[in-house]
Amino acid sequence: MAVVNRGFGSKGRSDDPRLPPGQHLTDGFPVLSASPTPLIPKDTWVFTLTSETGEERRWRWHELLDLPSEPVVTDIHCVTRWSKFDTHWEGVSVDVILAGVTTDATHAMATCYGGYTTNLPLSELRGGKAWIVYRYGGEDLGALHGGPARLLVPQLYFWKSAKWLNGLRLLVRDEPGFWEGAGYHNHGDPWREQRYEFD
């Protein structure tokens, strides 16, 4: 069985109904990574959507910026028990990326520069629930926080919001990603405290 770390201890709990169980608020933005921070020049960045049949669609950086973008203000929740309210992002809805795609897929695997992966139900990426974001707090997203672009899926624990995003691979059956294969929960709903495989 995989060894997992239950994370940082609590620094006090708010009674705010926006705070999931077991979480504490932070004013900062902790940086946690499974690997060294890759530095990806924007002129070489490419995002690839791969269907379950192997068909690919690609966007280079300037093509991503040409897509309709929107501001996103949301709370985020890390599996290590910190939460941050009212974070400000800007990016492209995954609905825009998936527009016009006919698929039998039920899940997707997010892939990243540096080799990180995480799996998600396709239902968590559609319907205005997920974005490819490239700005945070009015500034270009820095490499430590996943820049030039990361996935943002705020309704799930933050490891599902993959940093240094370079693709989505559509799947007809679920497959575990990096942390899921190491003992973390397959879905990761903070309101149900789905931190680890035995939760």
> Domains of the chain: which residue ranges?
44-192
Beginning with the edge strand found earlier in the chain, give each strand of the sheet holding 117-121 in spatial order. 56-60, 46-50, 165-171, 107-112, 117-121
Write the pLDDT tens digit of every residue in 5-64. Answer: 344 444 444 678 999 999 999 988 888 776 788 899 999 999 999 999 999 999 999 999
CA distance 141 to 112: 15
CATH of 44-192, one of 3.30.1330.10, 3.30.70.3170, 3.90.420.10, 1.10.357.10: 3.90.420.10
Q: Please check whether residue 34 is in contact with residue 91, taking contact to mean a CB–CB distance below 8 angstroms.
A: no
In the predicted structure, residue 137 carries a pLDDT above the cut 50: yes
Q: Up-side HSE of residue 126: CA atoms within 13 Å toward CB? A: 13
Of 146, 181, 179, 182, the closest CA to residue 31 belongs to 146
Q: How far apart are CA 52 and CA 55, in angstroms?
A: 7
Select from 84, 77, 85 the least CA-distant residue to 22. 77
Per-residue pLDDT band at 1 (split at 50, 70, 90):
very low
Please identify which residue in the block is written with the tokens 């490499």: 143
Given a cut of 60, is residue 172 above it in pLDDT? yes
- In the block, tokens 């239902």 appear at 123
